[in-house]
């Protein structure tokens, strides 16, 4: 039997559509390569979170296709989910479990061998500075600590693709640095990180490529240099570039209307 070579793409979206009372995602095409740190930025209500929730299997698209490392996520969601981890801006953990127990639970859900999972869990808790709190219930934890527990949970099953929706919102500088450090480490180890963020400086510093999304469509994509090239200003920061591209798209839409 011939085995298919692994897809070079960690994520491939084709013609993705999701409508609520208006189109939230409108025929989106997006590709992220394996081992890439990809940042999706855009104004409020641009469709970033809706896109990522569809990728994570939390929302059903109205049309289009989603492929995770070559697996059709709509046809075989369980196989796709095995490779993925999802973290939202509001860390969802159990107040009455300790971080250690939370990681044990996640490892059970992803069928990770207990011995392997425990070793990884201890490492992750150490990297994220949670070891002293590993056996305390999460009920008294700050937002930053809860986000770190959620991140450890996402990494304990060694996902190929990590999807994060605004993971740094509300974190202090120290916690944000730890989270960024762990994510960077994952990419260096061959993992793929796809993240939405409002903090453009983070996208500028961490991302290999940046996608700008507005009105549910990808209006620009590339490295920071490539994006600057699209507005023709080589000295622009990502913030300047982002604002210029969004304004240009807004003007184009207004003219078309």
Q: Which residues bind other proteins (CB under 8 A)?
A: 56-58, 78-79, 81-82, 84-86, 88, 92-98, 100-101, 103-111, 113-115, 117-118, 121, 133-141, 150, 153
Closest CA to 222 of 67, 192, 54, 231: 231
**CB 215 → other proteins: shortest distance, Å?**
25
Are 197 and 203 in contact by the 8 Å Cβ rule? The answer is yes
Q: How far is the CB of 98 from other proteins (least distance, A)?
A: 5
CB of 34 to other proteins, least distance (A): 19
Residue among 47 and 153 whose Cβ is closer to other proteins: 153
Shortest separation between residue 214's beta carbon and other proteins, angstroms: 25
Task: Provide, rounded to whole angstroms, the least separation between the CB of residue 103 and other proteins.
Answer: 8
**Distance from CA of residue 112 to its chain's centroid?**
22
- Nearest partner of 165 among 57, 89, 83, 85, judged by Cα: 89
Q: Is the dihedral of CA 206, 149, 154, 220 positive or negative?
A: negative
Strands 192-196 and 37-41: parallel
113 or 225, CB closer to other proteins? 113
- The DSSP output letter for 138 is G
Of 69 and 219, which CB lies nearer to other proteins in the complex structure?
Answer: 69
Query: Can you state the angle between helices 173-188 and 114-127, rounded to 10 degrees?
Result: 130
Cβ proximity to other proteins: between 26 and 118 the closer is 118
Residue showing tokens 């260096």 = 188
Nearer to other proteins, 73 or 224 (CB): 73
DSSP code, position 5 = P
Is the CB of 117 or the CB of 224 nearer to other proteins?
A: 117
Look-up of token digits 């490892």 = 107
Closer to other proteins by Cβ: residue 135 or 233: 135
Smallest gap from residue 33 Cβ to other proteins (A)? 22
Residue 208 neighbours by CB under 8 Å, 6+ apart: 36, 37, 38, 187, 223
**3 state SS of 201:** helix
Which pair of tokens denotes residue 140? 């008294």
Q: How far is the CB of 66 from other proteins (least distance, A)?
A: 13
> What 8-state DSSP symbol labels residue 2?
P
């Amino acid at each position: 039997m011939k085995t298919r070579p692994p897809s070079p793409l960690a994520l491939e979206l084709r013609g993705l559509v999701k409508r609520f009372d208006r189109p939230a995602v409108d025929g989106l095409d997006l590709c992220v390569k394996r081992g890439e740190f990809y940042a999706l930025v855009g104004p409020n209500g641009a469709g970033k979170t809706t896109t990522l929730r569809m990728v994570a299997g939390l929302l059903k698209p109205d049309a289009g296709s989603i492929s995770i490392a070559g697996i059709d996520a709509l046809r075989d969601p369980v196989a796709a989910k095995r490779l993925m981890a999802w973290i939202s801006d509001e860390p969802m953990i159990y107040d009455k479990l300790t971080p250690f127990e939370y990681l044990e639970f996640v490892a059970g859900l992803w069928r990770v061998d207990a011995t392997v999972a425990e070793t990884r869990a201890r490492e992750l808790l150490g990297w994220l500075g949670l070891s002293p709190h590993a056996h305390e219930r999460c009920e008294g934890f700050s937002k930053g600590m809860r986000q770190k527990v959620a991140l450890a949970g996402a990494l304990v099953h060694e996902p190929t693709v990590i999807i994060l929706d605004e993971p740094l919102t509300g974190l202090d500088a120290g916690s944000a640095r730890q989270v960024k450090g762990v994510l960077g480490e994952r990419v260096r180890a061959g993992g793929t990180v796809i993240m939405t963020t409002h903090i453009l400086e983070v996208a500028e510093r961490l991302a290999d490529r940046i996608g700008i999304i507005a009105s549910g469509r990808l209006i620009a994509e590339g490295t920071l240099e490539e994006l600057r090239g699209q507005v023709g200003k080589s000295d622009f920061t990502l913030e300047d570039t982002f604002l210029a591209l969004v304004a240009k798209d807004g003007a184009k839409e207004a003219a078309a209307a």
